[in-house]
Amino acid sequence: MNDEIRFMPDGKTIRVRRGTTVLEASKKARVFVRTRCGGNASCLMCKVIAPDGTGLSAAGENEKRKLGELLERGYRLACQTKVTGDCTVTLPEDPLKAAVRAQLAKQNEDELW
């Protein structure tokens, strides 16, 4: 059975086989999810946000231990979370992009004065 997963903020949607991890689905959709450990839940870089958790597997013990209170705020590890139905996940802004955006905003603000 195939389910639909939507990646935000891009809005890219693909169909994947039930049981596929969010990380595998992102690769298939050509949506970049940062990871360094190859899907072993050790680098914690592949965090995605799924506030309601609909269409996703329940968090396992490993994920609960690694994410702690972030789990309650809707964060999941893409390498550990499996698609179990139609779902939407949001990719947090890349930290480097966020830093560049903040510097550009500050520079533009300084130029105004």
Q: pLDDT tens for residues 46-93?
A: 999 998 889 999 999 989 999 999 999 999 999 999 999 999 999 998
Q: For the chain, what is the domain count?
A: 1
**Residue range of the domain that includes 19:** 2-112
pLDDT at 1 over 80: no
Which residue did the predictor score with more confidence, 113 or 23?
A: 23
pLDDT in tens, 95-108: 777 788 888 888 87
At 18, which CATH number? Answer: 3.10.20.30
Q: Give the model's pLDDT for residue 39.
A: 84
Residue 14 vs residues 25, 30, 80, 83, 101: alpha-carbon distances, Å? 8, 10, 19, 12, 29
Q: How many helices (H) and strands (E) does the chain have?
A: 3, 5
**Using one digit for the tens of pLDDT, what is the confidence trace for 35-45?**
998 888 888 99
Stated as kind and residue range, the H or E segment containing 76 is strand 75-77
